[in-house]
Amino acid sequence: MNMSERLEAIISGRVQMVMYRDFVCRKARALKLTGEVQNLKDGTVRVIAEGTREQLEKLLARLCHGSLLANVRNVMPVWKPATNEYSAFTINYE
């Protein structure tokens, strides 16, 4: 049985106003992950995703590459146990 894990990542670089959240959301949904992606006030993007380690590692690789217009400088991942608080993957606009 595959255990669920949680990936929390802060992505810096040119990642706002370049469709990065939409890119992340599409990739996460394709991988059948749950969680959210959100722009932060400091210009970074925060991703919280839950799924199997294999799925999350695939997402992490895509986070590092980024969308066509993005210029990812740094991805800071933190691995945690899953909380199962999400039922889908969404964009948080707050």
Residues taking part in catalysis: 21, 39
3-state helix, strand, coil in the chain (%, to 5): 25, 45, 30
**Separation CA 69–CA 4 (nearest Å):** 31
**Separation CA 35–CA 28 (nearest Å):** 8
